[in-house]
Structure 1
Amino acid sequence: MFHRFLTYSVVGPCLAVCALVCQAAPKPLLTHISENVEIYASHSIDENNQLLVHIDPLTQALVVSAVTSLNSRFDIREQYRSPPPDADVETLCVFQDTQGIGAFVFDARGMASQQYLYLQSNAQWRQVAIRDFSMGGEPEYCMVDNASGQIYIAEEGIGVWQMSVAPESELTRYLSPLELDEDTVSIALISAEKGELSDEMGRVHSFNVKPPDYQRGDLPMLIADGQTDPVQRFGDAADDPAIWVNNETPGRSLIIGTDKKAGLDVFDLNGKRLQHLPIGKVNNVDVRQSVQFGENRMDLAVASNRSGNLLSVFAINGKNRSVMHIGDVSTPLNDIYGLCLYQPEQGLEVLVNDTDGTYLRYALTVAGDTVSASLMEQFNVPSQPEGCVADDKHQQLFYGEEASGIWLRSLAGVQQTSTRIAGLSDSVHADIEGMDIYHVDGKRYLVASSQGNDSYAVYAIDNDFDWLGSFRITADIENGIDGASETDGLAISSVNLGSRYPQGLLVVQDGRNVMPSDKQNFKLVSGSKLAEFIRKHR
């Protein structure tokens, strides 16, 4: 192991967030900590103040110190010391983004940990776990380029790995192969396409830099207001939410979410799981209230169940806020997938699709404890669909073709013509997944998840489907709520859901649940933030 400094110059107020530029660090700094320290990084705040992050050689704890230099003298004050880790640390490096200052730590097991050390929101020194992942091999040196949001990791005998530092980014690594026989002492970017690595023997190795897939800060950010408990199973499990509104006490409304490996979950607006129904691999779910069958009215949820290609039907009891599975309807689909509901004046209709592009429209009937459905029509999408939403009042169906865009179809009758109203662009990427309608100032807005760049596109339905812009959902670090990424399904309510969500609620599936790394869940965003975004961009 070798001694090294990774230092950055920050222009502006203390710990202000801005572009970072590498510079030399004063060599006497480390000797004031310990001559035995081998793993450390320095972050320059201004001419007289620095942040020093090092690994205690005896305990392997991560130690954060604020360093003030004046007339060649150093005042070093420890700000934070972590508990000893499970394994010895091999190397670390510091990063900075709009949320604060953090570090990547690589240990002897090949595991990596990303964490915040300083929170910009409240000017606190605090260790916040972001995510853990397996790096494998023997990482020996790392450097973060904050301008592009990329980390470069040297691995002996392998080369330089590159990946995004954004907490919600996909853990995809890109390798520039190099024959590295000696310890790395520095990595620097020469241009947007080229980087250089220097080893302890003075040799310089050039490597190719892969441009990031997209810039994380190129879209407006809405801060998450809440999150649900994680679903039951690891992996790609959580998928689609729906919102049931408690008309008597809106703050006691429910979020119903699918766990496509384990069943259906019911959460309150605080995200606490109230109920789990292990009824199969349910994929999409939708809710309608006060559905009339003859003289009876009831609140229903319907889910596409891939365990048997079924429509699973649930009754919602508003008095005790419970959900009960009341029956299933078989379908001829080979791989049932997306689903949404349409509520005419009488009864309930189900729009359900297959991964092969087949769409079926059913009229659902519930009589006592008997659930049945009759097929009304079938139509087809050119390629794989999933997410959809029906506007009951306007008798319209909006549905996504994942690799192409968004379609509109009238539900006023059968065998209507579908029209594509939105395609893909530099800002709206495949896959087009979940979608729902939000009402602001008497106007309708369609919100659709653009899974390929972790964003949400907003279209003005009443203004020729004009794309207003897209946003991302970012973390509330102070309260330990991460943002959302790789979203499948989403649901929106435009009604007052109590003091916390007076302008409704946006619920999205989070494909990469971090802070800390955990099973997938659903993120909650106040409708007030969505309304503000729409009013600003329309």
Structure 2
Amino acid sequence: MTRIFPLNTKLSFPKQYLLTMWLSLLAGQALAAPSLKLQPWAQVFPVNALAFLPGNGATERLAAGRDGLLLLDANGRELTRLKGGFEGLDTRALGRNVLVASLDSQRQQALLVSLDPQKRQWSTPLYLPTRDFPVNGLCLYRDEASNLFVFLVGEEGKGEQWLVGAGERLSETAQRVRGLPLPPDATTCQVEDGASQLFVNEERVGWWAYPAASEADAVRIPVAMRTPFGDIEHVAGAMATLPGGMLGLDPDAAQLHLFQQEGRAWIAQAKLPLPGLKEPESLALRKTATGVELLLRDDDNGQLYQGLIDWQPTPLAVPPKLPSVPAVAQSEPVARQGDAADDPAIWVHPTTPALSRVLGTNKKQGLLAYDLQGKLLQELPVGRLNNVDVRSGFKLGIQTVDLAVASNRDRNSLSLFTIDRASGELREAGEIPTSLKEIYGICLFQPAEGELYAFANGKDGRYLQYRLNATHDIVTGELVRQFNVDSQPEGCVADDQRQRLFLGEEDVGVWAMDARADQPSTLTSVIKVGPQLHADVEGIALYRNAGHDYLVVSSQGNDSYVLLDAEPPYTVRGALRVGLNATARIDGASETDGLEVTSVNLGGPWSQGMLVVQDGRKRMPEQAQNFKFVPWADVAKALDLP
């Protein structure tokens, strides 16, 4: 098939939809239309939703209605029921049991209940809290780390995602993860777990696809639209999904629409009439060896139907699954909303490592200090600080102090702070002006005792290297070198032992160069943006360990962290994500700007050190941004590091 756009190209809504329609026409010319065989099934039940029982070889079906949740055999005979009145239905496997989600119509609450199909027993339902909006529909989602969620679709565009379980266990209580803006007349949803896609209808407009992952941004793409923008004749109603495909029901036209996903586009495969049905509702399906088996209900007379479509959509190629490592602690949210938290640094207490501090910048406020449990200990409202770095043993007049240096975007300067070596308390220690027009990143270099340098960069790609001195209790900076990269940089880290500087160029990759001021500023490529590292390249940190050092790089474009050897040939050891911790109720990390790492034994979970990452989307609950704390031991285990 000839294509006029690469399918990974980000297109505006009109272009995206025109491309979809163009590909649909070509697909219709090239492929024979699927056919549907439909016949009445079972007796008439007062039900409003149907579902196949998950699991290979399962022949039972589920139904929800005013008389309860019903387990039915293949012929529609009742096997067991949970009494009550219910609306809507979705299922997932839960070990040997089945997790069932529905709406209790009397209590007006969503509930989750486990069914043992062999013993035909229902568990005690788990009810979500009563919402402040009417819930129209709900659907389940299992993510790549086996966390279980339920999405709620409400009136006036209100949607929510709730954590309800992990692995093969249903939680004792549900936890709200995030709100989700949905179409104003949405009534139903479905999730295709493999591709992490949430599908929502907008009855008078069309069907939409959203990313379902709890850390994803709330963006959407159209699957199909009503006339005159598409070929849905009347209503975008219920839908059902399977890998690579979606089926949508237009009840007013008594038509079933079939779609195949091709990259970012959805290709219409067929419009199948539903003869004999006047008001088709409640679409459910499962993939078989020969096609797609489905269940339908005619709302006009309550008759249930089953059918088979001779269609096999091609599953979408999805990126390789990355290991997920949960944070075991997180900082209190910063005191400013929006894109505020940015870069962390770790100060290690010289005698009592458990009293170490995590420093963090708030680029709308100043510098923050947390303990190792994430409690805020100190705020210094000195201006819009972007990046921060720390070194110990700096000579400040006749004193030896630990020093933190941050880039100050209010004054395009370097803000300096001393750190009390006993208490960890931070104090302002002056400022060094720079000639940068838009200062951005900062990192420190300490090649030997008594020497300290700061590298500062600007958005124009310029780097300035300063030698820091403080012979009379006032820190000054002497410009000793400057150089450029071709586009915007930010993160950098110096390897003091090997006297090497690593720096990131956001859309290009990571470079290495000699950090010494009297050496040439020759850049050597460490890793380029590509299959492993996704732009923007943001924070960079160095894990120093006896025998093996690693670079950790924020791959912001796919919410991951790439680890590679800190010595040539810079072998990549893998990538991971900081995922949701269901037990501790800590959300994952995404859109990470800065990060830091230490190999020092800080005690407790930090016996092999810790990784700290900025979280650009704080969820569960939704709050201002913060920092996530991850044990290095878990990172090493996830990537099987030597």
Give TM-score scaled by structure 2 length.
Answer: 0.76
Task: Show the counterpart of 1:412.
Answer: 516
The Cα shift of 1:483 comes to 1.7
CA deviation digits over 1:121-156, x for unaligned, max 9?
765443122221222422112111112221111111
Q: Check conservation: 1:6, 1:22, Cα contact below 8 A.
A: no
| Structure 1 segment 64-463 matched on structure 2, within 5 A | 64-68=112-116, 75-97=121-143, 98-120=145-167, 124-179=171-226, 181-182=234-235, 184-189=237-242, 192=244, 194-201=245-252, 202-207=254-259, 209=261, 211=263, 215=318, 218-293=321-396, 295-344=398-447, 345-367=449-471, 370-414=474-518, 415-463=520-568
Q: Check conservation: 1:100, 1:116, Cα contact below 8 A.
A: yes
Q: Check conservation: 1:166, 1:216, Cα contact below 8 A.
A: no
For the structure 1 residues 27 and 308, does the alpha-carbon distance in structure 2 shift closer, same or farther, using more than 3 Å as the test?
closer
Residue 238 of structure 1 aligns with an amino acid whose one-letter code is A
For the structure 1 residues 138 and 381, does the alpha-carbon distance in structure 2 shift closer, same or farther, using more than 3 Å as the test?
same
The Cα shift of 1:235 comes to 1.4
For the structure 1 residues 22 and 203, does the alpha-carbon distance in structure 2 shift closer, same or farther, using more than 3 Å as the test?
farther
Instruction: Return the alpha-carbon distance in structure 2 between the equivalents of residues 528 and 84 of structure 1.
Output: 40
Q: Check conservation: 1:145, 1:151, Cα contact below 8 A.
A: yes
Task: Show the counterpart of 1:18.
Answer: none
For the structure 1 residues 23 and 374, does the alpha-carbon distance in structure 2 shift closer, same or farther, using more than 3 Å as the test?
farther
Task: Show the counterpart of 1:15.
Answer: none
CA deviation digits over 1:36-90, x for unaligned, max 9?
533443445589x54332223344222222334579xx64443312221111112
Task: Show the counterpart of 1:473.
Answer: 578
Residue 53 of structure 1 aligns with an amino acid whose one-letter code is A
Matching of residue 511 in structure 1 with residue 605 in structure 2: no
Q: Check conservation: 2:153, 2:189, Cα contact below 8 A.
A: no
Bigger CA radius of gyration: 2
Q: 1:25 aligns with which of 51, 62, 69?
A: 62
Residue 129 of structure 2 aligns with an amino acid whose one-letter code is P
Structure 2 unaligned residues grouped into runs of 5+ = 1-46, 71-80, 227-231, 265-315
SS at match of 2:373: coil
Worse overlay, 28-37 or 489-498: 28-37
Instruction: Return the alpha-carbon distance in structure 1 between the equivalents of residues 211 and 86 of structure 2.
Output: 28
For the structure 1 residues 290 and 215, does the alpha-carbon distance in structure 2 shift closer, same or farther, using more than 3 Å as the test?
farther
The Cα shift of 1:267 comes to 0.3
For the structure 1 residues 204 and 232, does the alpha-carbon distance in structure 2 shift closer, same or farther, using more than 3 Å as the test?
same
For the structure 1 residues 70 and 428, does the alpha-carbon distance in structure 2 shift closer, same or farther, using more than 3 Å as the test?
closer
SS at match of 2:131: coil
For the structure 1 residues 217 and 5, does the alpha-carbon distance in structure 2 shift closer, same or farther, using more than 3 Å as the test?
farther
Q: Check conservation: 1:459, 1:467, Cα contact below 8 A.
A: yes
Instruction: Return the alpha-carbon distance in structure 2 between the equivalents of residues 517 and 210 of structure 1.
Output: 33
Instruction: Return the alpha-carbon distance in structure 2 between the equivalents of residues 276 and 8 of structure 1.
Output: 54
CA deviation digits over 1:258-313, x for unaligned, max 9?
11112111000000111111111110000011113464311111111111211111
The Cα shift of 1:420 comes to 1.7
SS at match of 2:611: strand
Q: Check conservation: 1:435, 1:448, Cα contact below 8 A.
A: yes
Matching of residue 38 in structure 1 with residue 87 in structure 2: yes
Instruction: Return the alpha-carbon distance in structure 2 between the equivalents of residues 139 and 403 of structure 1.
Output: 38
Give TM-score scaled by structure 1 length.
Answer: 0.90
Task: Show the counterpart of 1:17.
Answer: none
Instruction: Return the alpha-carbon distance in structure 1 between the equivalents of residues 503 and 54 of structure 2.
Output: 49
For the structure 1 residues 441 and 367, does the alpha-carbon distance in structure 2 shift closer, same or farther, using more than 3 Å as the test?
closer
Instruction: Return the alpha-carbon distance in structure 1 between the equivalents of residues 397 and 382 of structure 2.
Output: 28
For the structure 1 residues 445 and 363, does the alpha-carbon distance in structure 2 shift closer, same or farther, using more than 3 Å as the test?
same
Instruction: Return the alpha-carbon distance in structure 2 between the equivalents of residues 166 and 225 of structure 1.
Output: 20
CA deviation digits over 1:336-371, x for unaligned, max 9?
101101113324211000011000111122355533
Q: Check conservation: 1:410, 1:417, Cα contact below 8 A.
A: yes
The Cα shift of 1:183 comes to 6.0
Q: Check conservation: 2:91, 2:100, Cα contact below 8 A.
A: yes
Task: Show the counterpart of 2:308.
Answer: none
SS at match of 2:634: helix
Matched-pair identity in %: 35
| Structure 1 segment 492-531 matched on structure 2, within 5 A | 492-531=597-636
Task: Compute the RMSD of aligned alpha carbons.
Answer: 2.7
Worse overlay, 206-215 or 482-491: 206-215
SS at match of 1:388: strand
Residue 403 of structure 1 aligns with an amino acid whose one-letter code is D
Structure 1 unaligned residues grouped into runs of 5+ = 13-20
SS at match of 1:370: coil
Q: 2:100 aligns with which of 35, 52, 77?
A: 52
